[in-house]
Structure 1
Amino acid sequence: MTSVTSTDGTIIDYDRSGDGPPLILVDGAFCSRSFGPMPALAPLLTKHFMVYLYDRRGRGRSGNTQPYAVEREIDDIEALIDAAGGSAHLYGVSSGAVLAMRATAALPGKVRRLAVYEPPLVVDKSRPLPPADYRQRVDDMLANGRNGDVVKFFMTKVVNGPAFLGVIMPLMPVWSKLKAVAPTLPYDLAILGDVMRGEPIPEEYRKVLANIDVPTLVGDGGKSPAWMHNGVQAVADAIGQTRRITLPGQTHQVKAGAIAPALIDFFTAEAI
């Protein structure tokens, strides 16, 4: 394990393994380099890339300097890119996909290629929408130490998971990990911004996508719901150089063995 120091002095801890062009993996909500999809994915990529698996700020061994701002998470990625030699590929999943897209747009010349899987944009009314005040409700629950309620609320009311999740999740082995990292959920909600209202991509975010000027892979799962497909397609349509894929049989919890070949093919191909 090693670390870099971000612009505001925050220590960002990471693991590095493999050989080849640098590839930074960007986690979504509740995940870290020891929990979530990336720990299983990284070993499948190391024959082709120097893989950087890091803890986003507030998670694992990384620091958590306040006040938080999305720009600081982009600074964190830039510090990792600089440590990798000044340029790198990025792969992000879920809200981490949105962070990776924001970083690519904000760091011209530093991202070689970008791959994203299921950025969770709700651009139509094909699913129930989150409560209008969901971000404030998350903040209020955290302020009162109700980390477990935050996890349940997010899984059932924001991402629209089945109601029984709120009952069974406290019985699962991962419950303590989810509660521990719950205070970073507002970071992911800030990264997402105003993209879950069931309306077309807002202008602020459309400008971000328009500023992505590198080859980009945009993917989703064949078993994911219609609202996810529609949001992912809206992202693909708004970015210039795009390869669009759907992985058969996959959901938002994409399996490492399913996404790894697509990433290897995309990041090593001469053209998209």
Structure 2
Amino acid sequence: MEKVTSADGTTIAYDRLGSGQPLILVGGALCDRHALRPLADELASDFDVVTYDRRGRGDSGDTAPYAVQREVEDLAALLSALGGTAALYGHSSGAGLAAIAASTGLPFTRVVLHEPPYGPDDAETSDDGEQVLELSREGRNQEAVELFLMMAGVPQPEAVEVAAAPGVAELAPTLAYEFAVMGHGIDRGSTPVALLRAIKQDTLVVAGTASAPFMVDAAHRIVAILPAARYAELPDQRHVVPPELLAPVITAFLGGSSLRR
């Protein structure tokens, strides 16, 4: 484990393995740096891969009050540690954070957005998100995690099982960060159109055909909005893809292979 210090003084813990061009992996909700380690292992033969604990998780610190910009500054600190440039992969709400960071002009070489969970632009307003936050504020962390996962399309029995896994419920307070990330830059609807249009890097948008329909729909909307985007469809795959299937798609794109839009 290594550490960098972000602009506000928060310590960010990360692991680094492999060799080649630098690549930062950004995890989504309820994930620490270990969650993406199997994917990092698959990519390490081609890339200098970094997995890190987003603030408030694992061995990283946290500084109140939270702001999405602080997470962008965390990525900037990692970029500096890697020599100034890197490719960027984000999964789920981590893809939402990756999109925000790329839109700010940080020197990422290429970007991979794997199912950022933007809801339908015509969806009716729901108070489920506020219920999740209220449960967390009351210390009912396991219930908060269960509700959050069901909002994301996870069947209730699976959501209950995941929420009961060791260490998961204690990450419930960081769910507020995920809502802030996914709501960042949205003027209307559920898709941050202006933010996405500011991403100038070549970008790969990835979705599995067996994922929740709203995530697949979001991926297609993003491809239509981004200035330089390609789409990669993963047949029969859900939101979490086996790393041995996902890594070749990432490697092909970052290596410059041509993919059908």
Q: TM exceeds 0.5?
A: yes
Going from structure 1 to structure 2, the CA distance change for 1:264 and 1:164 (only over 3 Å counts) comes to same
Alignment of 1:87 with 2:81, yes or no, is no
TM-score by length of 2: 0.92
CA contact (8 A) 1:124 1:227 kept: no
CA offsets 1:27-62 (integer angstroms, 9 cap, x no match): 00000112x3x1110011111110011100001100
2:173 partner SS: helix
1:176 partner SS: coil
Alignment of 1:18 with 2:26, yes or no, is no
Unaligned runs of 5+ in 1: none
Going from structure 1 to structure 2, the CA distance change for 1:162 and 1:242 (only over 3 Å counts) comes to same
- The counterpart of 2:109, out of the listed 108, 112, 117, is 112
Alignment of 1:265 with 2:252, yes or no, is yes
Write the distance in 2 (CA, Å) between the matches of 1:260 and 1:163. 29
2:110 partner SS: strand
Percent identity between the two aligned chains: 38
Q: How does 1:131-150 map to 2 (within 5 A)?
A: 132-150=126-144
Give 2:38's aligned residue.
40
Alignment of 1:236 with 2:223, yes or no, is yes
How far is 1:259 from its partner?
A: 0.9
Alignment of 1:183 with 2:173, yes or no, is yes
Q: How does 1:114-263 map to 2 (within 5 A)?
A: 114-123=111-120, 132-156=126-150, 158-165=151-158, 167-169=160-162, 175-193=165-183, 200-202=189-191, 205-263=192-250
1:164 partner SS: helix
Unaligned runs of 5+ in 2: none
1:116 corresponds to which letter in structure 2? L
1:220 corresponds to which letter in structure 2? A
Write the distance in 2 (CA, Å) between the matches of 1:52 and 1:229. 27
CA contact (8 A) 2:118 2:218 kept: yes
How far is 1:93 from its partner?
A: 0.4
CA contact (8 A) 1:222 1:246 kept: yes
Write the distance in 2 (CA, Å) between the matches of 1:195 and 1:123. 16
CA contact (8 A) 1:201 1:234 kept: no
Write the distance in 2 (CA, Å) between the matches of 1:160 and 1:195. 23
Give 1:97's aligned residue.
95
CA contact (8 A) 2:183 2:190 kept: no
2:40 corresponds to which letter in structure 1? A
CA contact (8 A) 1:78 1:107 kept: no
How far is 1:137 from its partner?
A: 2.1
2:92 corresponds to which letter in structure 1? S
Give 2:7's aligned residue.
7
How far is 1:71 from its partner?
A: 0.3
Aligned residues: 258
CA offsets 1:226-266 (integer angstroms, 9 cap, x no match): 22211110011110111111011211011101110011111
Write the distance in 1 (CA, Å) between the matches of 2:184 and 2:128. 11
CA contact (8 A) 2:95 2:114 kept: yes
Going from structure 1 to structure 2, the CA distance change for 1:111 and 1:26 (only over 3 Å counts) comes to same
CA contact (8 A) 2:133 2:175 kept: no
Write the distance in 2 (CA, Å) between the matches of 1:88 and 1:169. 32
2:12 partner SS: strand
Going from structure 1 to structure 2, the CA distance change for 1:11 and 1:167 (only over 3 Å counts) comes to closer
How far is 1:144 from its partner?
A: 1.3
